[in-house]
Each structure stands twice: as C-alpha cells, then as structure tokens.
Chain A
Amino acid sequence: MTVSKNTPLLPSAFNALSDLVAGWALTDSTARLEKRLTTPAEEIKAFYDRMLPRAPEALAFLAERRLGALTREEEALLKLMLSLAEMGPAIEWYGTGTYPDAFDARRFPLVVTLPDNQAQGVAA
C-alpha cells in the first residue's frame, strides 16, 4: 500500500513522532524482539528518548480506546508504544539491545502470542 506523504500516520496530537512509524511500528512481539536484537544500542536509545516524554500522554489516549476498535493511526501509536515496552528493559536494565553473556532470545520464542490489537475476552 502506498501512503502519500500527506496521509497522517499517527493521531494528530502525536504527529511529531510520525517519522518513527516506518521503523518501529512492527507486526508483532516477535518482530519487536528481532528489532531489539539487530538495532545498535544508540539507535534504541534514540527511540527510547523520543518516545518516553510522550508516553504518558500516549497511554492516557490509548486508555480511552478499545483493542480491536482502533483506527489505523491509533493502532500505529499503540505499536510504537509496544516497541517502547520491548526497548524499555533494553535501556533501563542493560543499556543496550543485547549484552555480553546474553542468552540468545531467539532460542526461546513465543509459541502462543498475544495479538497486538484484538479484543481480549474476559473469563466466563
């Protein structure tokens, strides 16, 4: 799908983060881990530093919205936040995407995944 330069990628309040969508709004949890393992530490830190100041506002925005009923732009914002959830420990615990003596996380993949944007049933 071609997206014209003028098509908003994110809800308007978050337009300033639009350039992050192409690289950081990813398919699923497995893709986010792969991004973390293959991205240089300084790029992860740059993403973290751009996202963190806007994160409380983004979460307040998303808290008003239901999974499975998001617009394309809202879903892109959620996916940026899910990348922040993956990159958070990279920066806050290790300072990098991978580290000396890190076990290869690809050897312990998700075999049952939580969908990014799908209503979650409650217990019967």
Chain B
Amino acid sequence: MNERASRTPKVTPANLTLKHPELGTGPVPARPYWDPAWYARELDAIFKRAWLCVGRVEQARSPGDFFLKKLPTFDLSVLVARGKDGELRAFHNVCKHRGNHVELRAAGHCVGFTCPFHGWTYGLDGKLAAVPDEKGFHELDKKKLGLTRLPLDVWEGFIFINLNPEPHQTLKEFLGEHGADLEGYAFHLGTAIFEYEGVINTNWKCLVDSFCETYHVPVLHRHSIKDTLAGPENPHGRLIDIRLKGPHRTQSVWGNMNYVPNPVQGLAFQYAPGPSVTSGVVDERSVLPKGLNQTRAPNWSIDVTAFFPNWIIVMGSGMYFTHQMWPLAANKVVWQMRGYLRPATNAAQRFGQENSMVELRDAVLEDCNTLERIQASLDQGLINEFIYHDHELALRHQYYVVKQWVEDYERSTRK
C-alpha cells in the first residue's frame, strides 16, 4: 500500500447488520410508528418501567437544593431534592391532602416544601412535618402521609428515576455495558447549559432515529453539516461503527478531517471554550472512555449514544449535548435538547458558545419538516414498512428492542 492510500481514511463497509443476525435484514413493520393502541402498550411496558433521566447532580448540589422535572408523557411533576443528610430523593410533587403540587418553583433552595393550598409542610426527606389545625382532622397518621417517593439512582452525575416503585432492574443493570463503557467522560465539565424545547408531530421513535443514522446527512443537511460529517472520501455518510449493547446503541460518526470552516464558524471554533461539535477537533487533553470512539478511528467526530428508551447523548471530545423525547401521543412528542458547554473564561468565548448553540439548532431543525411529513404518511396508512440501509442498523435495533420490551412485559403480566 502506498503512503497516500494508507493515509486515506477507510470507509466502513456495509457489513454491520450481519453481525446481528437476530435482527434480520428484511423490512420492519411501520405499525408501531403510528398505531395509538401500540403506543398505549409502549407506555405501560417501557416508559413506566425503564429508568428515565431527569437531570444532573449539579442541579441539586447542596442540602436543601431542589428542582422540578416535568414528564410531559404522563403530565407528571417530579420533585428532586437533596436532604440534610446529603441524599438525593425523588418524589411525586403531589400533596397527600388534596393533590396540589407542593412546590411550584422550577428550582431553588429551601428547608422544606409547603403546599400552597392549605399549608401542609413536608421535609426535604419527604416526611409530612406539619399540618395546620391538625386537631380538626378525625384520623391523621402523619407517618403514613409523606410525599410518594420514586426510585432514584445516579450514573456519571445524571439523575435517573423510575416510575415503577419496584424496578425490575437496578440502574446499573439497566445501563449495562453501555453505561460502564462511558464512565469517566468529563460530563461534569459542561456547566454552561442551554436547552431548547418544542413539540414535533412525529412518533417518539422516529425522533430518536433521526439522530441514529448519518445516511441522510449528505442530502438533508446539504446546506449545513454535510461537509463535516461526510465528505469526498465518505460521500454517502457511512458511519465508523455501530455498537449495540442490550437495549442501547451507539453510532461513531465519521468526521471530515480536511473540513475548512466558514469564516464566522472558523472564528467560533477558535474562540469556543472547548472543541465545538461541528469542528471535528479532538481535544488531545481529554482522555476518552473505552466506549467513546471505541474503534479509536482517527477520522472520528462524535459518538451518538441512544440510551433506551428516550435519552440520547451526543459526545465530542470536549462538548456534549443530550436529546430527550417525551411522547404525548403516537404521533406527537415533546423534544428537549440540552447543551452542556465548557464555561467561557472570557467575553470572546461567549461568541464561540453562541455560534455552537445556533449551528446546533439550525442543523437539527433541518430534520423536522421531514419528520412531520413522514408522520403524515404513516398516519394516512401510506407506509406499511421501513426498508433500512446497513448503516441504519440502529433504527432496526430500536424497533426490535421496543417490540421485545412490550412482548416480554405483557408475557410477564399474563396470568
């Protein structure tokens, strides 16, 4: 092999799906992407049983710190608080008296929670501490009237809850090999946080899939990120690698190392407080955990890890962001995109951050009209099956995992 050829990054062949014979190679039924009856089964089998990410430990760093997380799928408000003992706890934000929310502020610091309806007061540990005019009640066992707790556990600073009071797996078991392989990533350094939120008329799984293949990049993103995540050596947006571990999946995304940034973009890369996601720059100082760019490809840009069911982390070497999908119906989803930038240490870096936010928003919104058109086609019964490219393996995997969770759960509850 001559020197020139050895320097040319290889493009991964279309042989990824065959490594997972259990997933087959044929078309995938489209019904789960539009059918309201199937959606109801997903809620019971998946969203009420899987561990769901609700925030980061930095949001409740000290005893008395709390924050609320809305779960739009169930119209639930979850209250996460750090107790005087330093322990993080999650509760349904619901007063045991008449059901009002006990805390209305999005976040804050307090010594306890007082329901704004009649003034019932709960400690940071959820115990019912005080009831105004307690003698006026006929039978009141305050010990039994604490806020309802939800199982809570933490992975790499991310707080997860489970809506099942007795989860069938621990968080560690649930995140499995994928969680273990990402441990050590500098998640805690991304303290400059921004978040976008909106409702998209698409099935939640289609929105997940939107970030799990790059076959569409050279076409749909032809105005924006085509030349960073694809390029002359990889014209069709082949991935470096796809790793399926349990219900979770990761794509290692190819990066064009010869990409020349646009003028403003180039200045933003120069003044970003950490490598920008679209820059393709690898922060040499950062030590990547085993699970990130696991094949150690030299032309790597980002990894996209989709933790089942509804939480995706997009990780570069020095900046990451997350997507979270909260379905409202079979064809409607709340989408939350949260960026975690390194903090700006001077005023010029604020410019780099702003451009990162804007480019990220612009690029991801390019997918949305397409998603809504696909959903219209699905809802009109015009698509019966999906045909997947080899490098759309993650989409095939999601279909099978969802089906498996629904069927396994229904089998386990059948008497």
Contacts and interface: CB of A to CB of B under 8 A. Distances in A.
Contacts of A66: 345-347
B12 interface: no
A106 to B, nearest CB: 9
A5 interface: no
Contacts of B267: 55-56, 59
Nearest to B341: A114
Given A64-B346, A120-B192, A114 B357 contact: yes
Interface stretch (B147-155, B173-181, B194-202, B392-400): B194-202
Contacts of A60: 348
B194 A114 contact: yes
A109 B189 contact: no
A123 B354 CA distance: 20
Given A82-B354, A108-B335, A63 B194 contact: no
B61 A85 contact: no
Interface in A93-119: 93-94, 99, 101-103, 105, 107-114, 116-117
Interface in B234-280: 262-265, 267-268, 270-271
Interface in B193-249: 193-200, 223-224
Contacts of B347: 62-63, 65-67, 70, 74, 78, 117
A52 B264 contact: yes
A92 B196 contact: no
Question: Among B188, B358, B368, which residue has the most Cβ atoms of chain A within 10 A?
Answer: B358
B191 interface: yes
Contacts of B343: 120-123
A61 B347 CA distance: 9
Contacts of A99: 223
Given A59-B271, A65-B347, A67-B344, A52 B263 contact: yes
A56 B264 CA distance: 10
Given A29-B354, A112-B338, A121-B191, A89 B359 contact: yes
A120 B191 contact: yes
A96 B192 CA distance: 29
A89 B223 CA distance: 10
Interface of B: 58, 61, 188-189, 191-200, 223-224, 262-265, 267-268, 270-271, 335-338, 341, 343-355, 357-359, 361-362, 365-366, 368-369
18 contacts: A59-B271, A61-B348, A62-B346, A62-B348, A67-B347, A84-B264, A89-B224, A89-B265, A91-B264, A92-B262, A101-B369, A107-B200, A109-B198, A110-B194, A114-B354, A121-B191, A122-B343, A124-B58
- The 5 nearest A-B residue pairs measured at CB: A88-B264, A92-B262, A108-B198, A120-B343, A85-B354
